[in-house]
Amino acid sequence: MRLRGRFGAGCAAVAAGAAVAALTTPAQAMDGAPREPLEYVALGDSAAAGPLIPQQDVNLLCLRSNRNYPSVAAKALGARLTDVSCSGATTKDLAGRRLGVLPPQFDALSKSTDLISVTIGANDSGLFQQALGCINFLPEPVGASCADRLTKGGGDRLGEAVAKWAPTFGAALEEMKRRSPHARIVVTGYGTYIREGGCHPRQPVWARDGDYLQGVMDKISAAAREQAKAHGARFVDMAALTVGHDICAAPKDRYLEGLVPAHAAAPLHPNEQGMAVYGNAVAAAAR
């Protein structure tokens, strides 16, 4: 079954096809036999995989949950899911072996794939790794600002890395189209992890450092959006979905966990509640 055939036709085409449907529909479909489920392949990094959210895949190399957003979206769509998202993945791991052991994520794609989702880019920029260097338990000026360090001399190390990554991601989208020419591709951005001004000391990141880190995350999402548009993919804005549900929110309202998680999830990652929201948004974009 092809998503473009199923969802992509315009109203005029649907109306024209209705007149001949009775003549061309296979007998088994007319008899009400169930349709073949959509073939859905989920690609990406830990923002898709869901590290530490129960239940984790027995192969702990990827820290992948069966309650991550691909699982939620697959259930909503009645799709057959092949989830190869992997914590720590970069765009390079889509086409290459991760850790020298795990096969390329692209190996899961085929000409029969109907739907592809992908969340990638944060590890390419080094954002998650650098975020750990932004922890300051004491208020300014006791400590050092990671924003100052990463923008020293008027540059922006992480912003420059994002700009360099963008065309690489565009090439990856083209490869998805080549391998799965009939698939709908859904690209997701990243969430609003920390609100403007932060919430120090509740989350031990100074205001200007939190604003800088979220700004880099927004640049990754903006680049992903632009590449999705340029290469015929759909984009899901996770930043908009998580406003007010960031790491500063009350635990019951959080979709994203802080440096000290309040729920079973990795720090600075979506929790199960957030994954449910993400998954429903991806399913809606796939229809």
What does the block give as tokens for 178?
């080549």
pLDDT band at 19 (very low <50, low <70, confident <90, very high): very low
pLDDT at 11: 41
**pLDDT score for 13:** 39
Apex 100 CA angle, 95 and 102, nearest 5:
65
* Residue 34 pLDDT grade (very low, low, confident, very high; cuts 50, 70, 90): low
- With 80 as the cut, is the pLDDT of residue 139 above it? yes
Tokens of 122: 């944060």
Peptide bond into 141 cis (omega under 30): yes
Which one-letter amino acid corresponds to residue 250?
A: A
pLDDT in tens, 145-155: 999 999 999 99
Res 17 pLDDT > 70: no
Report the range of poorest mean pLDDT among 26-40, 79-93, 96-110, 182-196: 26-40
- Flag the least confident range among 19-28, 121-130, 260-269: 19-28
Instruction: Report pLDDT digits (tens) over 2-14.
Output: 554 444 444 443 3
- For residue range 54-67, what is the model confidence (pLDDT) as tens digits? 999 998 999 999 99
At 82, which helix (H) or strand (E)? strand 80-83
What are 186-225's pLDDT values in tens digits?
A: 999 999 999 999 999 999 999 999 999 999 999 999 999 9
> Tens of pLDDT along 107-137?
999 999 999 999 999 999 999 788 888 999 9
Q: How confident is the model at residue 264 (pLDDT cuts 50, 70, 90)?
A: very high
Q: Delimit the domains of the chain by residue range.
A: 1-35, 37-286
Q: What is the pLDDT of residues 223-232, one digit of tens each?
A: 999 999 999 9
Are 278 and 238 in contact by the 8 Å Cβ rule? The answer is yes
pLDDT at 211: 98
Question: How many whole angstroms separate alpha carbon 153 and alpha carbon 145?
Answer: 14
Percent of the chain topping pLDDT 90: 83
Distance between CA atoms of 220 and 159, rounded to whole angstroms? Answer: 8
Q: Taking residues 265-282, what's their average pLDDT?
A: 97
Q: Which residue has the tokens 């979206």?
A: 73
- Phi, psi at 13, each rounded to 5°: -65, -40
CATH class of domain segment(s) 37-286: alpha beta
277/13: higher pLDDT: 277
Place of tokens 């001949």: 20
Active site residues: 46, 269
Residue 280's pLDDT band (boundaries 50, 70, 90)?
Answer: very high
